[in-house]
Structure 1
Amino acid sequence: MSTEASETNIPVPEGRPALRFMPRLPGPAPMAGAALLCLLIGLLFLAVQVRSIFSAQLQQEYIGLVLEAVDRAESARDAATTLSTPPATDAYRRARIDLSTRLATLDALVNASPQPAPPLPKDSLLPTASLTTLSASLDATASYWRAQRENVSAAMRERISRVADTLILLSAIVFGVFVTALGMYAKRNRQLAGMSHEFEHAALHDAMTGLPNRRRLFAALEATAAASPETGRKIAVLYIDLDGFKRVNDTLGHRIGDEFLIAVSRRFRQSVRNGDVVARIGGDEFAVLVARFETDSELAAIAQRLINCVAQTDEQMGLGLVRASIGIASFPDRVDDYWRLVAAADETMYEVKRNGKDGFAFAQRGE
């Protein structure tokens, strides 16, 4: 099998192959929209939680003010209790006045609370209220507001935990979207590279047979000739025309003609050596670029194998119509300009056709 076929890994087509297009990926809009919706919901949730945390912080500060007033009232109560025996002293009266003042301040703070709270009993605020009544009322108020402080602290810790969890979730979403976008970008680039390769392959190969076309042949000829002066090797082109092929299309139809071209192309590829290039020039004309040879006998052997390929294909399909005429031109011994190899081989092929067809001939030296 030729290097050209193995390098491009082109399967032998059984019909006219169509250029394959990669399936188009769904756009990133749905994924971006879903991610944006999640982010918006997350940010809204964060805003609500942060607002609640600020509100709880203000509530904590107010509870602190109330508890400070409770502590001052308790201190005044303790002082009055100490001075209650005997009760008629000036110090005791001053202590009761101070206690009443602090209770009034505490009552004002409780009544001004942003959150509904149980007020101090009215009888405990009277100047004549007993210390027992005052103590009971003060203890109940202190217990309520200390419990409120614990409840608000617990709620703040819970909200802060929710905020932290939400931030982690949003970070995961953003990271996931970023990684997914990178993956889609890389995949799309791979698809575009694959499509570019297919377009390039289509531009350099025959669509029906999968063989390199004229453009690819001349590129390979130029590359091979550029290396020839360094290696000292000779190169050659064999130009092939299928004798009688027009009758196949005219009498049996183009479908049979196409099947013949595909089958003979497969045999051509299998018959040439590694490093040689088989190309379809157009219609029923082919060319083989021989990248290295030593003697004309090697080229003659290749030409005879190509002639046999045509005869075997004709026999297998039961046509009895098609043979091959081949012109051979070599560089630098017969043609001094490698750009003229194809033209010289073509001219020699027509000499073979004029002299009876179904054979091969070498270009004359100096052509």
Structure 2
Amino acid sequence: MAGASLVCLLIGLLFLAFQVKAIFSAQLEQEYISLVLEAVDRAESARSAAIAWQPPSGDAGSYPDGYRRARVELAARLATLDALVNASPSRAPPLPRAVLSPAAGFDAASTALDTASAYWRAERERVSAAMRARISRVADTLIVLSAIVFGVLVTALGMYAKRNRQLAGMSHEFEYAALHDAMTGLPNRRKLFAALGETAARSHGVPSPGKIAVLYMDLDGFKRVNDTFGHRIGDEFLIAVSKRFRESVRTGDVVARIGGDEFAVLVRTFASDAELSTIAQRLIACVSQTDEQMGLGVVRASIGIASFPDRVADYWRLVAAADETMYQVKRNGKNGFAFAVRPASE
């Protein structure tokens, strides 16, 4: 079947080549006809000028200079037309030699011009019809060849599409794995910084850019969970609290696991510190509720909050500033939150 399809394809391509060659030849012929018809139009314009200058009946003995010049122009135009007709690549009826002189009779010259005009306009229609017919045959052949090619390649295309989907799925899985924490499914540190860069880029150049904030969180007492209850319980706690974190933040914000028992939340836009305080309180409540649900009684949360541009001049330092502030909370008694203070030097 593949061999027969290939033979049909080659025959069809050969037929197309001949048809395309014929179309180009017809196009050249049509362009030549257009040149001849342009000469016809110029000759008809000269004839119209001669008619305009032709003396009225009864004054045939005296021809004005304008009429004589128009007849000379008409003769020159007819000579140019005759030269084009004689140079035609296909046989065409020539103009009578007698009408090429200014002294020729006006009626004879006019009749010869009308005959040439009718012939070449008919030729233009004939060549145009032939071109349309050939183009139609080319279109039909292309449809048939397309069907043959489709029939031959459909299996290969199907296999390629299947393989491409598999590769795309693998690529998506690799990309997801590179940007997310394997255990909790939360974005990782790399994804957090990418989201931070995207958020800052959208705000760049905006007349009134929004404020950005990062809440950095450490789970107080989590080490005791692993030491006392085992790492399995510790992993279950991290998975459960991560789910609560996702449900507590807004749709546009990003909650990420930085590593171990440390998490961060990127707040893409906010209006006031009170809004950030509410988010921090919700996160602390998520930790407390998870601890209570699992009956551990040891895990709480310390959160540092840094915001750009009011507290941190460079948005790339948001995570570091929030991390430093979080350790201040831990030193001051844990289980709470605090805002970063902008250094006096800034």
TM-score strictly above 0.5: yes
The residue aligned with 1:310 is: 287
Which of 153, 156, 159 does residue 181 from structure 1 map onto?
156
Structure 1 residue 365: deviation in Å?
Answer: 1.8
Q: Deviations along 1:5-35, whole A, 9 cap, x unmatched?
A: xxxxxxxxxxxxxxxxxxxxxxxxxxxxxx8
Give the RMSD, CA atoms, in angstroms. Answer: 2.1
What fraction of aligned residue pairs are identical, expressed as a percent?
A: 82
The residue aligned with 2:319 is: 342
Which structure has the larger Rg? 1
Which of 298, 301, 307 does residue 275 from structure 2 map onto?
298
Distance 1:180 1:294, change over 3 A: same
Structure 1 residue 191: deviation in Å?
Answer: 1.2
The residue aligned with 1:242 is: 219
Structure 1 residue 228: deviation in Å?
Answer: 2.3
The residue aligned with 2:250 is: 273
Q: Distance in 2 between matches of 1:177 and 1:256?
A: 58
* 1:207 partner SS: coil
The residue aligned with 2:87 is: none
The residue aligned with 1:224 is: 199
* 1:236 partner SS: strand
Matching residue's letter, 2:334: K
Q: Distance in 2 between matches of 1:363 and 1:245?
A: 24
Moved more, 189-198 or 284-293: 189-198
The residue aligned with 1:203 is: 178
Moved more, 346-355 or 173-182: 173-182
Structure 1 residue 342: deviation in Å?
Answer: 0.2
The residue aligned with 1:356 is: 333
Distance 1:182 1:285, change over 3 A: same
Give the TM-score normalised by structure 1.
0.52
* 2:257 partner SS: strand
State the aligned residue count. 202
Q: Distance in 2 between matches of 1:173 and 1:338?
A: 60
Q: Distance in 2 between matches of 1:208 and 1:200?
A: 16
1:255 is the counterpart of 2:232: yes
Structure 1 residue 173: deviation in Å?
Answer: 10
- Structure 2 gap ranges (5+): 8-146
Q: Deviations along 1:158-205, whole A, 9 cap, x unmatched?
A: xxxxxxxxxxxxxx9996552111111111111111110110010000
Q: Distance in 1 between matches of 2:212 and 2:218?
A: 20
Give the TM-score normalised by structure 2.
0.56
Matching residue's letter, 1:319: L
The residue aligned with 2:188 is: 213
Structure-to-structure mapping, 1:51-200, within 5 angstroms: 176=151, 178-200=153-175
* 1:221 partner SS: helix
**Dislocated runs of 4+, deviation >6 Å:** 172-175
* 1:288 partner SS: strand
Q: Deviations along 1:332-360, whole A, 9 cap, x unmatched?
A: 00000011000000000000000000000
The residue aligned with 1:329 is: 306
Matching residue's letter, 2:254: V
Q: Distance in 1 between matches of 2:195 and 2:149?
A: 51
Structure 1 residue 237: deviation in Å?
Answer: 0.2
* 2:268 partner SS: strand
Q: Distance in 2 between matches of 1:220 and 1:361?
A: 23
Matching residue's letter, 1:364: V
Q: Distance in 2 between matches of 1:241 and 1:228?
A: 29
* 2:233 partner SS: helix
